[in-house]
């Protein structure tokens, strides 16, 4: 193994709040700063003395500017000499940030980088187009040129389900699976070591309300009979419902990445980044994006899906998850036993989907499932996300001890 291979040695996230609720008054920079500070404390407690060379954070709907730099300046323990880079690859932003940080470490540019993502849909600014007749509000930036096709994500998920034959019943069953697993993980305390609570008033401005979240807010018991009666959420003839679409959410996740030589010298367990890839697909069917990205990283590493021990796929929509798993030969709804490697403790459908952070949350989950749980060296984990505009991002990781 090369001594400059990038390795994740610490991984933290916030509890995820539903937009307008648990973290409703907490700015993106404050969510990021809290989790940055926790990851830094973890790295220092493990004996990592290297200077922090950069902070790379994914974000989609923040205030603009360089949010990562502001978060680095806000976080306790990081000085003015630590720069920042903000990445926008939509729902793949957090994972893209991890891949970029891995490249910095692999090339020798950095001895330690903190990477991840953050989203505060609750506090995101409202934007407008300037026209001769005044400002005209718009809901979102374009994902693709209108001439090619630029659907919203909900209708795109409906189109994907039609194109690849994913019926309503399977989508409903997968949503129930995600919530059931998330509730079981909460009850067993499997998220406790990876999470950090957000203080009531992280910025000291007196603006935040309510108590800190002590769980991921969205997860709940879903009655299959009730789920089956829900109307289509996005298209009159669609199959995606409020239960099978992830909620708009607030949250942050950060990982500490160092070279293999640093990890080995300290004798730390970690997740080595083996390979990463981003691939483009038809913007009209963006949910297909993870398929070529996953195939690319597996081919680069000389592995196949059967050799993976843990898989975290951002659950933007049940239809998207099932389309991807069908293409990759996975069976998360198998009878009598499903493929438990996929989102073992639930995913974004149940935990929430803070867009810029979700890809990094997936890597935090891999770290807990494999490194914190004591998986042996050589165990493989995969993280992947679909991206608006027709892209997929994937990263392959290996346990090192």
Q: Looking at the annotation, which residues are catalytic? A: 91, 353
d(CA 23, CA 20): 7
Q: Is 267 left (phi over 0), alpha (psi -120 to 50) or beta?
A: left
With CA atoms as reference, report the closest residue to 99 among 391, 401, 307: 391
And the tokens for 334? 């198998």
Tell whether omega for the bond before 336 is within 30 degrees of 0, i.e. cis. Answer: yes
Per-residue buried b or exposed e for 50-77, using 16+ beta carbons within 10 Å of the residue's own CB: eebbbbbbbbbbbeeebbbbbbbebbee
How far from chain centre, in Å, is Cα 228?
A: 28
Q: Which two structure tokens, joined as six digits, stand for 34?
A: 């809290």
Assigned token pair, 187: 């009850």
Instruction: For residues 316 and 387, give the distance between their C-alpha atoms in angstroms, rounded to a whole number.
Output: 10
| HSE-CB of 342 using CA atoms within 13 angstroms | 26
CA angle 188, 311, 118 (to 5 degrees): 80
Q: How far is CA 344 from the centre of its chain?
A: 15
Q: Cα(132)–Cα(117) distance, rounded to whole angstroms?
A: 36
- The three-state secondary structure class of 117 is strand
Q: List all residues 6 or more positions away from 93 whose beta carbon is below 8 Å from its beta carbon.
A: 58, 59, 60, 87, 117, 355, 356, 357, 359
Residue closest to 224 by CA, chosen among 158, 175, 161:
175
Token pair for 210: 């309510």
SS3 state of residue 10: strand
């Amino acid at each position: 193994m090369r001594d400059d291979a990038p390795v994740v040695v610490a991984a933290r996230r916030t509890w995820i709040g539903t937009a307008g609720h648990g973290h409703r008054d907490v700015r993106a920079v404050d969510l990021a700063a809290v989790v940055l500070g926790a990851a830094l404390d973890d790295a220092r407690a493990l004996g990592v003395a290297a200077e922090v060379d950069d902070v790379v954070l994914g974000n989609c709907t923040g205030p603009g500017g360089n949010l990562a730099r502001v978060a680095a300046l806000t976080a306790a323990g990081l000085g003015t000499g630590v720069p920042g880079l903000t990445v926008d690859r939509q729902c793949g932003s957090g994972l893209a940030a991890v891949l970029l940080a891995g490249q910095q470490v692999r090339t020798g540019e950095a001895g330690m980088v903190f990477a991840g993502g953050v989203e505060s849909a609750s506090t995101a600014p409202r934007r407008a187009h300037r026209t001769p007749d005044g400002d005209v509000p718009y809901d979102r930036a374009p994902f693709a040129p209108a001439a090619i096709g630029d659907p919203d994500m909900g209708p795109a998920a409906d189109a994907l389900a039609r194109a690849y034959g994913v019926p309503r019943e399977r989508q409903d069953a997968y949503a129930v699976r995600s919530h059931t697993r998330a509730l079981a993980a909460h009850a067993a305390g499997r998220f406790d070591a990876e999470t950090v609570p957000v203080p009531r008033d992280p910025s000291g401005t007196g603006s935040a309300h309510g108590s800190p979240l002590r769980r991921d807010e969205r997860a709940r018991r879903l009655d299959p009979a009730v789920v089956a009666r829900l109307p289509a959420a996005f298209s009159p003839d669609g199959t995606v419902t409020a239960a099978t679409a992830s909620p708009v959410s607030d949250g942050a996740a950060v990982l500490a990445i160092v070279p293999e030589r640093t990890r080995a010298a300290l004798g730390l367990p970690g997740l080595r980044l083996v390979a990463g890839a981003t691939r483009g697909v038809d913007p009209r069917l963006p949910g297909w994006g993870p398929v070529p990205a996953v195939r690319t990283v597996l081919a680069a590493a000389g592995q196949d899906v059967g050799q993976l021990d843990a898989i975290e796929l951002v659950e933007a929509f049940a239809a998207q998850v099932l389309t991807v798993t069908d293409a990759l030969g996975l069976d998360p709804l198998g009878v009598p036993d499903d493929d438990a490697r996929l989102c073992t403790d639930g995913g974004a459908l149940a935990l929430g989907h803070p867009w810029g952070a979700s890809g990094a949350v997936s890597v935090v989950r891999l770290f807990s499932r494999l490194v914190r749980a004591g998986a042996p060296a050589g165990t493989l984990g995969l993280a992947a996300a679909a991206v608006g505009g027709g892209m997929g991002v994937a990263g392959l990781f290996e346990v090192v001890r």
